[in-house]
Structure 1
Amino acid sequence: MACGVRVGSGVALAGGVFLLVAGGTVPALLQERGEPWLTTVFGWVLIVVTCGALAFSGRRPVAVAALVLVTSSVYYVSSAYDGPLLVAPIVALYAVAARGLLGVAVALSAVALCGTAAGTAAGNEDVNNVALFMLAGWLVATVALGWARHSRLAYAREAEKHATSEERLRIARELHDSIGHHLSLINVQSSAALRRFQKDPERGARGAGEALGAVKDASKEALRELRTTLGALRDGDEAAPTAPVPGLDRVDELVASARRAGLDVRVTTTGREAGALPVEVDRAAYRIVQEALTNVSRHAGATSVAVRVRRGRRELVLEVVDDGRGAVRSGGGAVSGTGISGMRERARALGGELTAGPGERGGGFAVRARLPLSSSAVPQNGASPS
């Protein structure tokens, strides 16, 4: 289909240029004859070939431009009627530059200008120095416009690619933070129940009901989060998701899930209560607390965790500190993991920052985030809020 569109537009371009050239050349034929009819016929053959070649400028711009320069040069040298065939080389050079072949377009323009200058120096009175200067201006403008179009289209393609990549990262982060949290709780609860059953089948069977209840709640919430995320990916003509955007008002649900996983969770909230938080800040804060508690459940080996939320006049400060074995390092290096990088990206997207590392007293692990409340906060590193 795209190829058909290019061919169709090329034929239309060639036809338009031919009508323009023919309209400017035919009146000269009605005047007093200035050349033999055989030369006139040869000139019209050159006009048809030159304009017809433009139909293929979209697929073979360099070859077409070279052919058009040669045929138009022969026409102006052999014909006594100086019609507007100069439009054809201008269009061909524009097509070369618009394809991003700037060096080729400049080289062909230089050849055309040098050839015309050589004819002027040889005594061609039809082209004087003023006309030569104007031709140079036309060639420079044509190549510049073609290159500008190429740059604009390249920028648009890059922006579209970047937007697609950002959207994929946003979806991956949402799936990781929401569904991954609940799946982690399911894994922790089922693994704990299995260990208790293997050690003491009788007592383990009695505790299975509580573990299965926690697994049921976590799986139900995971399905709800999945439906909400998939709903956001629907086409615009479908119904928008009606589930509320998660925020800190639902932090009790996260605490309850973590407690079912065996953690002693304490939540402390301080600061101003001047109205609701901005939606993007509220959602990012919820996801950060969610991911931090998920990491504690899965990796920290902790028994207790403290969640502190402090709202100031200009920023929201979050802290999630546990008493586990500390940072999990990969190969002896810095703390790693997609969960921490995802939390850090959320904070940066709002113009804030997030740090993760050992607790103040050398034990446990601490996640600290600062999220500006101002809507004018500038995202860092080109990140976009999600």
Structure 2
Amino acid sequence: MVLHAVTRVRPPRGRAADAALASGVFALVAVGSLQSLVGPREEPWPVTALTWALMAAACGALYPRRRHPVSAAVLTLAVTMVYYLVSRYDGPLMVVPVLALYTVAADGRPRAAVALAALALLLTGAGTLLGNHDVNGVALFMMTGWLVGVVALGWVRHTGLALAREAERRAVSEERLRIARELHDVVGHHLSLINVQSAAALRRLRKDPAGGPERAEQALGAVKEASREALRELRATLGVLRQAGEAAPTAPVPGLDRLGDLVESARLAGLDVRVHTDGPPGPPLPPEVDLAAYRIVQESLTNVARHSGATRVTVRTGRGPDALTLEITDDGRGPSSPVPGTAPGSGITGMRERARALGGALTAGPAPDGGFTVRAVLPYHRRRPLLNGVLPPP
């Protein structure tokens, strides 16, 4: 069996497309002007040769129209007017300046396009008043409609392309923000635990030379586990940037089913973490809600370990009919007065952006009885963000 390769025909692009358009328009104009070569003679041959040269010049001016739209439109309009003044044959050369006007408008220059279209109408109207019987009032009115429509169509094309480019830029910015937020949550959480456990190991070795090594070994074991988890999640997050053809990451997306791992890591850092779940278990959460909830709890515990100086943390989750509610409360001083030697981060901002991306909201601030509270509402189905980020009362 002989297999025949199917070659996909691709339209020309760039300058090849410009040359193809100029050649195609010249062929169209030439076919419409054949009467000047084969029909009864109405003008001398030198005049006919001049008109064909003008047709070639006008169509050739379409080649640089995208690089120099206004200049090309002026040239095609001038050559077309000379053509109709010297030729006794009414060829379809008017299509050339019409295409040039469309290019000017599509390039985002509506004023230039309107000015050139008005000049063409004025010159055509002047010729009609001077005795050119080929164009009457009805034809002039129809020509006005054509020119207005062409300019409007070109401007609509320009506006559509501008909106598409803006939407693409916005999508790229949102994706970059999402990746940055994931990297911040993954790297920040585990590196914070590594920092806390390393400092604890050093303190134990210095203050308790006898029993310190055993306790320091426990802290270093926690450092080892945190660094391993950080590498695993970092590889999974960077998977979205893999090259075409590379294997997709196989690690599961973290969710509240791994809340126990977060709690255990926080306990190794010296925090007394208690988890309360309100309401029945219910069906599995949507993946985006499950991931956002996990990251919010993760970032909250990271902030507690780094900044607050707290010893106790309470994590409360509640599954309502329409949304998941999270509340993380500690007995520390909050991120507004961080532990000396630590730099402020953007964790609360990132958590708030996660909640708003799902149509929910997040608040963070001092608790009524002291400490600090982070509270979030994450709807199961995307909806408009809550007004001014206000959450319903607990």
The equivalent of 1:138 in structure 2 is 146
Q: 1:366 aligns with which of 373, 380, 383?
A: 373
Which AA in structure 2 matches 1:326?
G
Q: Classify the secondary structure of the residue corresponding to 2:273.
A: strand
Which AA in structure 2 matches 1:366?
T
The aligned runs of 1:87-126 (5 Å cut-off) are 87-126=95-134
Residue 380 (structure 1) shift: 7.0
The equivalent of 1:333 in structure 2 is none
CA distance in 2, matches of 1:31, 1:144: 38
CA contact (8 A) 1:218 1:257 kept: yes
Residue 240 (structure 1) shift: 2.0
The aligned runs of 1:216-295 (5 Å cut-off) are 216-235=224-243, 237-295=245-303
TM-score, reference length from structure 1: 0.92
Which AA in structure 2 matches 1:49?
A
Judged with a 3 Å threshold, the aligned counterparts in structure 2 of structure 1 residues 380 and 102 are, in CA distance, closer, same or farther, namely farther
* In the alignment, structure 1 residue 47 sits paired with structure 2 residue 17: no
Which AA in structure 1 matches 2:269?
A
Judged with a 3 Å threshold, the aligned counterparts in structure 2 of structure 1 residues 169 and 35 are, in CA distance, closer, same or farther, namely same
CA contact (8 A) 1:349 1:380 kept: no
CA distance in 2, matches of 1:372, 1:52: 60
* In the alignment, structure 1 residue 377 sits paired with structure 2 residue 367: no
Which AA in structure 2 matches 1:190?
S
Residue 198 (structure 1) shift: 3.5
Percent identity for Structure 1 against Structure 2: 62
CA contact (8 A) 1:272 1:312 kept: no
The equivalent of 2:80 in structure 1 is 72
Cα RMSD after superposing both structures: 1.8
Judged with a 3 Å threshold, the aligned counterparts in structure 2 of structure 1 residues 329 and 92 are, in CA distance, closer, same or farther, namely farther
The aligned runs of 1:138-217 (5 Å cut-off) are 138-217=146-225
CA contact (8 A) 2:102 2:153 kept: yes
Which AA in structure 1 matches 2:307?
H
CA contact (8 A) 1:352 1:370 kept: yes
CA contact (8 A) 2:316 2:326 kept: yes
Q: Classify the secondary structure of the residue corresponding to 1:316.
A: strand
Judged with a 3 Å threshold, the aligned counterparts in structure 2 of structure 1 residues 148 and 379 are, in CA distance, closer, same or farther, namely same
The equivalent of 2:34 in structure 1 is 26
The equivalent of 1:129 in structure 2 is 137
Q: Classify the secondary structure of the residue corresponding to 2:61.
A: helix
The equivalent of 2:6 in structure 1 is none
CA contact (8 A) 1:272 1:313 kept: no
Residue 286 (structure 1) shift: 0.6
Which AA in structure 2 matches 1:364?
G
Judged with a 3 Å threshold, the aligned counterparts in structure 2 of structure 1 residues 97 and 329 are, in CA distance, closer, same or farther, namely farther
Corresponding residue pairs, total: 371
CA distance in 1, matches of 2:210, 2:138: 104
Q: For 1:270-328, what per-residue CA distance to the aligned partner results, in whole angstroms no more than 9, with x for missing partners? A: 11222111111111111100000000000001111111111112211100000001341
CA contact (8 A) 2:367 2:373 kept: yes
Which AA in structure 2 matches 1:365?
F
Q: Classify the secondary structure of the residue corresponding to 1:56.
A: coil
Which AA in structure 2 matches 1:370?
V
Q: For 1:180-226, what per-residue CA distance to the aligned partner results, in whole angstroms no more than 9, with x for missing partners? A: 11011001111222233344444443322011101000001001101
Higher share in helix: 1
CA contact (8 A) 1:326 1:359 kept: no
Q: Classify the secondary structure of the residue corresponding to 2:62.
A: helix
Which AA in structure 2 matches 1:23?
V
Residue 102 (structure 1) shift: 1.2
Residue 123 (structure 1) shift: 2.2
Which AA in structure 2 matches 1:226?
L
In structure 2, runs of 5+ residues without a counterpart are 1-11, 339-343, 388-394
Judged with a 3 Å threshold, the aligned counterparts in structure 2 of structure 1 residues 43 and 102 are, in CA distance, closer, same or farther, namely same
CA distance in 1, matches of 2:336, 2:210: 35
